[in-house]
Structure 1
Amino acid sequence: MRFTMTKSLGMFMAAGLLAFSGMAQATALDQFKTFVASTKAARGEFVQTQVRKTPTSKVAAPASGTFLFARPGKFIWSYVKPYEQVLQADGDKLYIYDKDLNQVTVRKLGDALGSSPAAILFGSNDLDKNFTLSEAGTRDGIEWLKAVPKAKDSAFAQISIGLRDGQPVAMELNDAFGQASMLTFKKFEKNPPLAAQQFKFVMPKGADVFEG
């Protein structure tokens, strides 16, 4: 079964890098708020894995790809392995393209980001509106921040953001059904130059289009 995210915007993630002195001593919450305020756009690579509930639990194969985002609400989240899929938002609509099926699902972005993990990294700076944020301690040299969605109907029970030296390096996503997955980020570039039409979705030739 594909480890897909077409049912929720919750798994669309991105990360950013801050390079200034003193950040390593800051709390996870301070680091993250500074990151959000100073990072208007970013790009890099990600690896996504499911977290085993028990040593014998079956999990889907890891997924990997690239991301590009510009606040608020514009992003391109591209899976390369184990299959090709693109999730792209232009600030107004979300396009989900499955290359194997040559199928595009189009959804109104609107408030869909809401209390999803995507809102944290791709949305506006008003995190306190949709999340209750708190410190979650240190693990393996990473400072963790816990974000609990305020919306009762959120697909996620909890989102944890791991930061090191001002950079979000990981996100752990716990959904309402007890499933957990981990995203790790690398090769981050902060505030890269972007073309005006960078996030305009070009419909693939012959694709079947569905309005979600």
Structure 2
Amino acid sequence: MRRKLSIFLASLGMSLGLGMSAVGAQADASEDLSRLLQPLGSISGNFRQTLKDQKGKTLQKSSGNFSVQRPGKLRWQTGEPFPQLLVTNNKQLWLYDPDLEQVTVRPVDNRMKETPALLLGGKVEDIRGSFSVESKKGAYYLTPKRASAPFKSMVIRFDKQGLPETMTVRDGMGQTTDIRFNGLQANPRLSSHMFNFKPPKGTDVIRDE
């Protein structure tokens, strides 16, 4: 169950001149999504997330707060029932579990670009290279281009102010994580210290190279 949480913590057309091809629609959807994300150099706020099984049964609920800053900096903190903290400075990633007094440290690689939470703080130009994007009724549907990506599909919706409102992620087992954002701040000033992590004394450090 904890590994599910760390996914966030460790996303038209007619023809004959009246519309566009499916490829063109995907390109336009990708560009539209990029235009929404481009002004957000940083963002912070709160979230509530619900994990559901293949039949829609709720398995777990949790909440927390997050901050992201381009390029690739993320702080994603989940509270009860399983507190976790994921921090990355775009070079190293720390996944801290206070209950276990354990932190896993690993280098950031290209796979991190496909992490749903980092979509909000990664390089906007990476979207087209990493995802197929479609738009429908104000929602953006993203499918990773790599079969080994950490999730199978994602849907993201924005509010009238152009801020992320909800995100739904489906994994390879058919389970979904629904995330609802609130209290968002666009382009806040964020200290670089937020995106580094010093383990508390006595913490076991596991290095995953």
Equivalence for 2:72: 73
Structure 1 residues 149 and 2: CA distance shift in structure 2, 3 A: closer
Equivalence for 1:200: 196
Tell me the amino acid that sits aligned with residue 206 of structure 2: F
Q: C-alpha displacement at 1:153, in angstroms?
A: 1.3
Q: C-alpha displacement at 1:34, in angstroms?
A: 2.5
Q: C-alpha displacement at 1:125, in angstroms?
A: 0.8
Equivalence for 2:107: 108
Q: Distance in 1 between matches of 2:10 and 2:5?
A: 11
Identity %: 28
Q: Equivalent residues in 2 for 1:58-69 (5 A)? A: 59-69=58-68
Structure 1 residues 118 and 108: CA distance shift in structure 2, 3 A: same
Q: Distance in 1 between matches of 2:144 and 2:175?
A: 16
Tell me the amino acid that sits aligned with residue 112 of structure 1: R
Q: C-alpha displacement at 1:46, in angstroms?
A: 0.5
Q: Distance in 1 between matches of 2:64 and 2:192?
A: 23
**1:118 partnered with 2:117:** yes
Equivalence for 1:175: 171
TM (normalized to structure 2)?
0.82
RMSD: 2.3
Q: Distance in 1 between matches of 2:87 and 2:76?
A: 6
Secondary structure, in 3 states, of the residue corresponding to 2:36? helix
Q: Distance in 2 between matches of 1:97 and 1:115?
A: 21
Equivalence for 2:20: none
Equivalence for 2:129: 129
Q: Is contact 1:135-1:146 (8 Å) kept?
A: yes
Q: Which has the larger radius of gyration?
A: 2
**1:147 partnered with 2:148:** no
Structure 1 residues 162 and 148: CA distance shift in structure 2, 3 A: same
Q: Name the one with the larger helix percent.
A: 2
What is the aligned counterpart of 1:156 among 151, 160, 176?
Answer: 151
Q: Distance in 2 between matches of 1:196 and 1:119?
A: 17
Structure 1 gaps of 5+ residues are 15-26, 138-142
| Number of residue equivalences | 190
Structure 1 residues 12 and 30: CA distance shift in structure 2, 3 A: farther
Structure 2 gaps of 5+ residues are 12-27
Equivalence for 1:50: 51
Q: Distance in 1 between matches of 2:148 and 2:53?
A: 25
